[in-house]
């Protein structure tokens, strides 16, 4: 007899998690609570309710978490200009801590003994979900069906559905996408299919959110982004909530062919994985945030942020959002954003997001000093001689001792 009486499942309503509901009921002889989060995946989540009910689920949670997702997770991450391995904007990674948090909260609310998810044993998501869960509830039991069952192919899953009369919207005759996709308000990812060959170019009809740069409008789109303490608060003077900002930037970026990415990344579990991503809004946000920081941040603070960023990105990618090191890094990052206020003008054109203007009342750019014209004594160029000689002192001493510089 299983000691698990009730389990909370992260439920999408799709094939895998519908099979997991029935499998949990049979294998653990337990009650299943389903949790479906709307984090901007672009699909209706309400149909998951009927599917869960058809599987005998009594407690069903369906929640709109878009505002919390962008405000409390995406925005803090973008304050650090975060990218993983030089390219990836962490669209999947940043969604997992929120889902893990709600799984634990619902488990506490319903008196559940365990949580469960549909992540496979090969991927990063199992790590992210479970690290988050253990950080928030150390003694929680986690059930990961993909690490326990032998239903390791689509055919076996479909056969299980037929045997158990599971009502899912899939059939052997229905055409499905050849790609494994994951979407939220920050991005959509594509894996599998021909993408498993890193030499094969992604098919044009794979992309969902953006036109190709070649098919983008021949006239550029200009936008102005207003910042307060490092966060975008308005577009073209219109005040918007964080999730509204990202939605609008996704639309504008997608229309102009911005945000496509094709990379091979190093997963935390050890393997390399090829994936394609669409992050139109995030791509614009990264460009613009660096631009507003360029005129408002002190040089050494900006450089230190750049040194900390790869560590911060790795922490998020590997699933340590709820760790003390992430909180420590976040506190340092947020401290730098006090004067990151102002406006950035961005030109969107055929796949590129180019900063063409930036201004701020807290700007550290002093035109009277930086000018190539007469600076009226604002900067004494003779001072540079002593500066250079002092900084060259160690080099001059070494050279004088016969230590070659080449």
Which residues are tagged catalytic? 16, 96, 125, 180
CB atoms within 10 A of CB 241: 13
Which of the 8 DSSP states describes residue 88?
B
| Residue matched to tokens 């007899």 | 1
Structure tokens of 120?
Answer: 């496979």
CB atoms within 10 A of CB 339: 20
**How far is the C-alpha of 225 from the C-alpha of 143, rounded, in Å?**
44
Structure tokens of 72?
Answer: 């409390």
**How far is the C-alpha of 90 from the C-alpha of 282, rounded, in Å?**
10
Pairing label, strands 342-349, 272-278: unpaired
Which of 354, 368, 325, 364 lies closest to 131, judged by CA? 325
User: How does 73-101 read in b/e, with b if 16+ C-beta sit within 10 Å?
Assistant: bbbbbbbbbbebeeebbbbbbbbbbbbbb
CA atoms within 13 A on the CB side of 255: 14
**How far is the C-alpha of 78 from the C-alpha of 90, rounded, in Å?**
10
**How far is the C-alpha of 361 from the C-alpha of 336, rounded, in Å?**
16
**How far is the C-alpha of 242 from the C-alpha of 72, rounded, in Å?**
9
R_g over Cα of the chain: 25
**How far is the C-alpha of 204 from the C-alpha of 212, rounded, in Å?**
8
Contact 81, 288 (CB under 8 A): no
**How far is the C-alpha of 47 from the C-alpha of 58, rounded, in Å?**
15
């Amino acid at each position: 007899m299983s000691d698990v009486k009730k389990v909370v499942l992260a439920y999408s309503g799709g094939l895998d998690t519908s099979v997991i509901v029935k499998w949990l009921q049979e294998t653990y002889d337990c009650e299943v609570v389903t949790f479906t989060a709307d984090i901007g995946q672009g699909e209706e989540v309400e149909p998951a309710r009927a599917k869960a009910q058809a599987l005998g689920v009594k407690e069903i949670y369906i929640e709109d978490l878009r505002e919390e997702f962008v405000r409390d997770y995406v925005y803090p991450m973008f304050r650090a200009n975060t990218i993983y391995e030089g390219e990836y904007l962490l669209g999947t990674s940043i969604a997992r801590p929120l889902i893990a948090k709600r799984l634990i909260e619902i488990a506490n609310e319903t008196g559940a003994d365990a949580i469960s998810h549909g992540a496979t044993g090969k991927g990063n998501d199992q790590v992210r979900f479970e690290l988050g869960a253990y950080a928030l509830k150390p003694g929680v039991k986690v059930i990961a069906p993909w690490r326990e069952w032998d239903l390791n192919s689509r055919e076996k899953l479909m056969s299980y559905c037929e045997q158990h009369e599971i009502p899912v919207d899939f059939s052997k005759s229905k055409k499905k996408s050849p790609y494994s996709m994951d979407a939220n308000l920050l991005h959509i990812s594509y894996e599998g299919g021909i993408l498993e060959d890193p030499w094969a170019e992604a098919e044009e009809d794979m992309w969902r959110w953006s036109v190709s740069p070649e098919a983008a409008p021949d006239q550029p789109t200009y936008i102005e982004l207003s910042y307060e303490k490092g966060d975008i608060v308005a577009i073209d003077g219109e005040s918007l909530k964080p999730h509204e900002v990202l939605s609008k930037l996704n639309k504008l970026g997608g229309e102009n062919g911005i945000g496509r990415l094709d990379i091979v990344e190093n997963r935390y579990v050890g393997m390399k994985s090829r994936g394609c991503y669409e992050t139109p809004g995030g791509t614009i946000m990264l460009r613009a945030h660096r631009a507003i920081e360029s005129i408002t941040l002190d040089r050494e603070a900006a450089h230190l942020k750049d040194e900390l960023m790869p560590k911060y990105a790795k922490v998020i990618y590997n699933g340590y959002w709820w760790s003390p090191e992430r909180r420590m890094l976040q506190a340092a990052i947020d401290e730098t954003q006090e004067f990151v206020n102002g406006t950035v003008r961005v030109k969107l054109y055929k796949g590129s997001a180019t900063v063409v203007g930036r201004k701020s009342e807290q700007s550290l750019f002093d035109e009277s000093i930086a000018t190539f014209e007469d600076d009226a004594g604002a900067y004494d160029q003779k001072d540079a001689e002593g500066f250079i000689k002092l900084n060259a002192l160690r080099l001059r001493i070494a050279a004088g001792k016969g230590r070659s510089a080449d």
